[in-house]
Amino acid sequence: MTKFEYAPAPESRAIVDIKPSYGLFIDGDFVDGHGKSFKTISPSTEEVLAEIAEADDADVDLAVKAARRAYTRVWSKMSGAERGKYLFRIARIIQERAREFAVLESIDNGKPIKETRDVDVPIVAAHFFYYAGWADKLSYAGYGPDPQPLGVAGQVIPWNFPLLMLAWKIAPALACGNTVVLKPAETTPLTALLFAEVCQQADLPPGVVNIVTGAGETGRAIVSHPGVDKVAFTGSTDVGRAIAKAVAGSNKRVTLELGGKAANIVFDDAPVDQAVEGIVNGIFFNQGHVCCAGSRLLVQESVAEEVLAKLKRRMKTLRVGDPLDKNTDVGAINSAEQLAKIRELSEIGEAEGAERWSPKCDLPQNGFWFPPTIFTGVSQAHRIAREEIFGPVLSVLTFRTPKEAVEKANNTPFGLSAGIWTDKGSRILWMASQLRAGVVWSNTFNKFDPASPFGGYKESGYGREGGRHGLEAYLR
Contact between 5 and other proteins (CB under 8 A)?
yes
Contact status: 8 vs other proteins (CB under 8 A): yes
> Which residues touch 158 (CB under 8 Å, ≥6 apart)?
165, 185, 234, 235, 236, 291
Contact between 379 and other proteins by CB under 8 A: the answer reads no
Alpha-carbon distance of 103 to 15, in angstroms, equals 8
- Is the separation of the CB atoms in 371 and 358 below 8 Å? yes
The single residue among 133, 147, 205, 271 that binds other proteins, judged by CB under 8 A, is 271
CB of 294 to other proteins, least distance (A): 14
Q: Which among 99-107, 213-221, 240-248, 267-275 is the span making contact with other proteins, rule CB under 8 A?
A: 267-275
Minimum CB distance to other proteins, residue 271 (Å): 4
Distance CA 232, CA 275 (A): 34
Query: What gap in Å lies between CA 54 and CA 186, rounded to an integer?
Result: 9
Q: Is 361 in the site for other proteins (CB under 8 A)?
A: no
Angle at which helices 216-224 and 57-70 pack, to 10 degrees? 40
Among 51, 57, 197, 269, binds other proteins (CB under 8 A): 269
Tell me the number of residues near other proteins by CB under 8 A.
24
CB of 269 to other proteins, least distance (A): 7
DSSP code of 463? S
Binding flag, residue 302, other proteins (CB under 8 A): no
- Please state, in angstroms and as integers, the Cα–Cα distance from residue 448 to each residue in 120, 124, 274, 334, 465, following that order: 10, 11, 18, 22, 11
By CB under 8 A, is residue 2 in contact with other proteins? yes
Q: Would you give the binding string for other proteins spanning residues 103-142, x where CB under 8 A is met? A: -----------x---x------------------------
Residue 310 has a CB neighbour count (10 Å cut-off) of: 17
* 426 part of the interface to other proteins, by CB under 8 A: no
Using the rule CB under 8 A, which residue among 76, 250, 434, 444 binds other proteins? 444
Asked if residue 245 binds other proteins (CB under 8 A), the reply is no
Q: Which one of 50-58, 146-154, 274-282, 285-293 is the stretch in contact with other proteins (CB under 8 A)?
A: 274-282
Q: CA geometry: angle at 17 spanning 15 and 22, to 5°?
A: 150
The binder of other proteins chosen from 148, 379, 434, 443 (CB under 8 A): 443
Q: Which of residues 308-327 bind other proteins (CB under 8 A)?
A: 317, 326-327
Binding to other proteins by residue 277, rule CB under 8 A? yes
Phi/psi at 6 (nearest 5 deg)?
-75, 120
* β-strands 253-257, 461-462 pairing: antiparallel
Please state the closest distance from residue 366 (CB atom) to other proteins, in A.
23
270 binds other proteins (CB under 8 A): yes
Per CB under 8 A, 360 contacts other proteins: no
Between 156 and 270, name the residue whose CB sits nearer to other proteins.
270
Angle, alpha carbons 219-224-229 (nearest 5°): 105
Question: Among 6, 140, 238, 305, which residue interacts with other proteins (rule: CB under 8 A)?
Answer: 6
Q: Which residues contact 208 (CB under 8 A, 6 or more apart)?
A: 67, 70, 74, 75, 174, 179, 180, 199
In the complex with other proteins, which residue's Cβ is closer, 6 or 140?
Answer: 6
What CA–CA distance (Å, rounded) separates 365 from 26? 39
Q: Which residues contact 201 (CB under 8 A, 6 or more apart)?
A: 93
Closest CB 160 distance from other proteins, rounded Å = 21
Q: How far apart are alpha carbons 178 and 67 in whole angstroms?
A: 9
CB 229 within 8 A of CB 150: yes
Q: Is there a catalytic annotation at residue 257?
A: yes
Identified catalytic residue from 257, 387, 388, 459: 257
Q: Which residues are catalytic?
A: 257
Chain contacts with other proteins (rule: CB under 8 A)? 2-9, 114, 118, 269-274, 277-278, 317, 326-327, 423, 443-444
